[in-house]
Structure 1
Amino acid sequence: MLRKQRNRASFATKTRKKHTRRVSEKRRIQSRRKKGTKTYVFSLPPNHSFHANNRREAHEMIGEVTEQDREVLPQPVLSVIIPAMNEERTIAAVVREATRICRDAEVLVIVNGSTDGTANEAERAGARVLHYPEALGHDAGRRVGAASARGQILLFTDADILIPAEHLAPFVQAVLNGVDVALNNYNGPVTRSPVHPVVEAKHMLNSLLSRSDLGGASMTAIPHALSRQALEIIGISSLEIPPLAHAKAIFGGLRVQAVHHVPVGKWNAVRSTKRGGADLLSQIVLNDHLEAIRWMTDTRGPRGAYPDLQRVRSLAQ
């Protein structure tokens, strides 16, 4: 009887130790992920154009390439483009998350008009820095970064919002699966009263483009990703006006989808502004939407390709 009790006690002790080891190991794994040591490995569909055009790039992405082969690889699979102006506090962490997305990736930080150590912090974190002493203006950094990017996929994010790689990887995977423009499935605070004009503008533009299914998803919001084909159709210069690039992508017959939700409204750092002052950034974004609508009417007619139905306007003249 005593021997059975000792055996049961010994078994219980061993079981508890095994359980403790499993819990400890699980916590260590989670801790490593939080610290950003996990790198994503993507697999390509066998009939994907990237796989057909450049088998070495596909093998690099899934970790099957040798060091000797790596030296002759012509370009990375992914380019992460990050405009930055005086973001010394956050840029290193943003770059580290970007490097976790894909083994075969380049991270471009377009430092413009900065007076702090943004460029040095970005370089130390592993980014390739494009440095401009003067401020390039809103969204111009995306255009500059895209012009220098060598990747088959271009992923755009900002330097002041730390987005974990777990929330960036789905945009890359969507493009690998055939999406040309992978958007953040973020509609903005639509339940507020009144709704912010920028949120209304995004929904309105998608409605005019016959893509109400996109809601408020837009190339104005980050993160979003483009295929190399999408970049060629949209045109690099259009990236400086995101709503215009958005309209060109849809009118160009590209596959545009909202693929993953990232709550950038909650994560974005609150900027201090003078009370009662004009919201200049919102005005720029609204003007960008007007630019997209003007392009639509210039290229598709005064009604943007919508029919006039029963109206006979000539009789009213």
Structure 2
Amino acid sequence: MAGMAAKLRMNEHWTRYCQRSRRARGPAQGRAYADGFADGLRLPRSGWVPVALAKTASAVVLAGSRASAEAVEQLLRLPFQDVIVVLEDGGPEAFARLRALPDITIVHTQERLGADVGRTVGARMTRAELVLFADGEAAVPAEQLAVLLAEARSGSDLVLADVSRRLGPFRGWDDAARVRAFVNWSLGHPELKANSVAVLPHVWSRAGLERVGLPQLAVPPMAQRAALEQGLRIRCTPIVAPKSGPAADAAGAAAKAKLEAGDHIEALRAAMGAKGARLSLPDLARRRSTAGGRTP
């Protein structure tokens, strides 16, 4: 039995085992089960991380010139039916690093698709019931990604990585976090704080993706706005900070921050066009109708 087939079979058995048991099974028990399954098949232990899933799951990985084999290797420890890596403008070295890995599908384009368009490209290539979007340039331990998948199995349409704890006091937040929090607050969801689909990793359900529309994924704040307007069930789950890859140049980081801010402004404008200039926020300080102004 090949490695991926064995891993998926192991996870099926683990899922049934957990469903029969009335006791919660922790990560240590899951790892021991996976190792025992591999031993029984006389396969090398690969550090599989089982997740009790009654749904199919796939991963879409967004990568560029700083693509990390380690980031993808963590995904290969999880019970994904496929791992799709969208490698944009990565060059031959990045492609070679990824091509050496087993059981992945690489979409390699040396042209610039445009920021985040790879999300839509990857999502169109799978019909899995759960889709995890990950950063191919920053490794997140498989055990942490399993937490997101476990939350998604309970019926959530969108599971975001909760970054609140690592942001610290508000005075220390960067501009991107402040913009994300402002948009969530303006759209009537302050409980989301600075959490957003603009941040990787996160998990969508297939039903959530279809209600929002795959083209919306190309502009993450627009996808989040649509998810909120559609009333999707959104959860935030803390995970450890990802292991960063090589640092981007200052100019590239500044351009990315500017683009993200512009995307959030676009989402706000779209929401204001649908709900009015004040969105869901009442004006308690002014009686505009008495003053002869427009009532929001």
Q: Does the alignment reach a TM-score above 0.5?
A: yes
Cα deviation digits, residues 211-259 of structure 1 (max 9, x gap):
2122111111111000001101111111111111111111111011111
> Runs of 5+ in structure 1 lacking a partner?
1-28, 45-57, 62-76
Residue 99 (1) aligns with residue 76 (2): yes
Q: CA deviation at 1:314?
A: 6.6
**What's 2:158 paired with?**
181
Q: Distance in 1 between matches of 2:63 and 2:175?
A: 26
Q: Aligned runs of 1:1-317 on 2, under 5 Å?
A: 37-44=46-53, 58=54, 77-88=56-67, 90=68, 92-102=69-79, 104-126=80-102, 127-187=104-164, 189-191=167-169, 193=171, 195-264=173-242, 267-269=243-245, 271-274=247-250, 279-309=254-284, 311-313=287-289, 315-317=291-293
3-state DSSP of counterpart to 2:135: coil
With a CA cutoff of 8 Å and minimum separation of 6, indicate the structure with the bigger relative contact order.
2
**Is the Cα–Cα contact under 8 Å of residues 157 and 204 in structure 2 kept in the other structure?**
yes
Q: What displacement does 1:190 show?
A: 4.3
TM-score between the two structures when normalised by the length of structure 2: 0.76
Distance in 2 (CA, whole Å) between partners of 1:271 and 1:241 is 24
- Alpha-carbon offset, residue 270 of structure 1: 5.2
Q: Which stretches in structure 2 are left out of the alignment for 5+ residues?
A: 1-31, 36-43
Aligned length: 250
Deviation by residue 1:85-133 (Cα, 9 ceiling, x = unmatched): 1135x2x22222112121x421000112122332333233121011212
2:72 and 2:172 map into 1 onto residues whose CA distance is: 36
> Does the CA contact (< 8 Å) of 2:51 and 2:78 recur in 1?
no
For 1:239, give the aligned amino acid: L
- Preserved CA contact (<8 Å) 2:140 2:241: no
CA distance in 2, matches of 1:240, 1:131: 17
Scaled by the length of structure 1, the TM-score of the pair is 0.71
Matched position secondary structure for 1:116:
helix
1:110-164 deviations in Å (ceiling 9; x for gaps): 1121223323332331210112120212211111111112211110111110111
CA contact (8 A) 1:180 1:255 kept: yes
- Higher Rg: 1
- Does the CA contact (< 8 Å) of 1:36 and 1:97 recur in 2? no
**Percent of aligned positions that are identical:** 26
1:154–1:228 CA contact under 8 A, matched in 2: yes
Cα 1:182–1:248 change in 2 (3 A) is same
> Would the alpha carbon gap of residues 180 and 278 (structure 1) be closer, same or farther in structure 2, given more than 3 Å must change?
closer
Per-residue CA distance 1:52-91 (angstroms, 9 max, x = gap): xxxxxx4xx7xxxxxxxxxxxxxxx111111111135x2x
Q: CA RMSD in A?
A: 2.6
- Structure 1 position 192, deviation (Å): 6.8
Q: Helix, strand or coil for the counterpart of 2:167?
A: coil
